[in-house]
Amino acid sequence: MTIRYEKVALIGLGLIASSMSHAMRQGGMAGTISGHARTAETRAVALELGLCDTVHETAAEAVAGADLVVLAVPVGAMGAVAAEIAPHLKPGATVTDVGSVKQAVIEAVAPHMPPGVHFVPGHPIAGTEFSGPRSGFATLFTNRWWLLTPMAQADLGAVAKFRGLLEQMGARVDEMDAAHHDLVLAVTSHTPHLIAYTMVGVADDLGRVTDSEVIKYSAAGFRDFTRIAASDPTMWRDVFLSNREATLEILGRFTEELFALQRAIRMGDGEHLFAYFTRTRAIRRGIIEAGQDTAAPDFGRSKASS
């Protein structure tokens, strides 16, 4: 039996919300979908693409009568949106968010939730460097993890129903503690993004000196950095401001290791470099053996597109 919510409200109509709309529409998982975004332009595009049946100038209007409310705005905007919608939520409704940081969002949203409304914080580990209502597609979540960080007093029925919806959208769902989520994501996503931003910035400075050789001779590694560094500036500013402790912890460890490698290069310590690279190569093998990536050269890209 298809898990279905009669009325779904999408607050924020960008990459994640539009992908959810496509997936829910395709699977018949939503009766009607209402939506709100900040600008009239985004709201018009959402109507034009059929992402929503109705769009509203305020989030409060969009959530009226909704059984499922999805907060899909930048992390820094979650608290204000929660405060605005709180008096208009239907008793028994489930409210979720898709923010990339969990502790800060819970602190910002949970205090506003009225009794009888079920807040189930979540984070789809899926995305692209594109944003806005036109960037979504129905298969974005297929075989990707969607992490839920339910609070101790969560309503188990509401969590189970929402989890079922995510699985119908093709996602693999796991539950974990919000603090643990933030540390794991600092390692796997947030710090790597910061490193990519830095590397592209450094290359840009160098590019001025070498007259665009950086782009001309760009190898796969650097091209991947430029793709990551093209991610939405608002979203990533908010991620670092709201997952400050975990990212600073991981960045501290990163710079220590970097200094150790820098020293090894300066001292001509080939043994250190070889041992380090041997260890990291084994980690990559472990990822492939666990089925988390392809062993194909160049990550399975065709020669033509590389």
State which of residues 9, 55, 62, 74 lies at the interface with ligand NAP (CB under 6 A). Answer: 74
Site mask for ligand NAP (CB under 6 A), range 187-206, x = bound: --------------------
Q: Roughly what angle, to the nearest 10 degrees, separates helices 244-267 and 178-185? A: 30
State in angstroms the smallest separation of the CB of 73 from ligand NAP. Answer: 4
The alpha carbon dihedral of 181, 184, 185, 186 has a sign of positive
Could you tell me which of 295, 17, 254 has the C-alpha nearest to residue 133?
17
Q: In the set 5, 7, 9, 13, which binds ligand NAP (CB under 6 A)?
A: 13
Q: Which is nearer to ligand NAP, 87 or 92 (CB)?
A: 87
Using the rule CB under 6 A, is 127 a contact of ligand NAP? yes
Binding pattern to ligand NAP, positions 83-122, x when CB under 6 A?
---------------xxx----------------------
Can you tell me the distance from the alpha carbon of 245 to that of 183, in angstroms, rounded to the nearest whole number?
9
Give helix then strand counts, H and E, for the chain. 13, 8
Q: Which amino acid is at 156?
A: L
- Identify the H or E element spanning 165: helix 156-168
Does 185 bind ligand NAP (CB under 6 A)? Our answer is no
The Cα 191–Cα 11 span in angstroms is 28
**Is residue 81 at the binding interface for ligand NAP, with CB under 6 A as the rule?**
yes
Map the footprint of ligand NAP across residues 240-269, applying CB under 6 A: none
The site for ligand NAP, by CB under 6 A, has a size of 26
Closest distance of CB 135 from ligand NAP, Å: 6
Which of these ranges, 8-16, 26-34, 280-288, 296-304, lies near ligand NAP under the rule CB under 6 A? Answer: 8-16
* C-alpha span between 54 and 21 (Å, rounded): 13
Question: By CB under 6 A, which span of 36-44, 109-117, 146-154, 213-221 interacts with ligand NAP?
Answer: 36-44
Among 8, 23, 73, 196, binds ligand NAP (CB under 6 A): 73
Give every CB contact of residue 47 below 8 A, 6+ residues apart in sequence: 55
Phi, psi of 172 (to 5 degrees): -100, 130
Q: Whole-number minimum distance, CB 13 to ligand NAP, in Å?
A: 4
H or E element that contains 35: strand 30-36
What is the DSSP secondary-structure string of 181-244? HHHHHIIIIIHHHHHHHHHHHHHHHHHHHHTTHHHHT--HHHHHHHHHTTS-HHHHHHHHHHSH
- Return the number of the residue (38 or 253) whose C-beta is nearest ligand NAP: 38
Task: Tell me which residues in 212-241 interact with ligand NAP (CB under 6 A).
Answer: 232, 235
Residues that bind ligand NAP (CB under 6 A): 12-17, 37-39, 42, 72-75, 77, 81, 98-100, 123-124, 127, 131-132, 232, 235
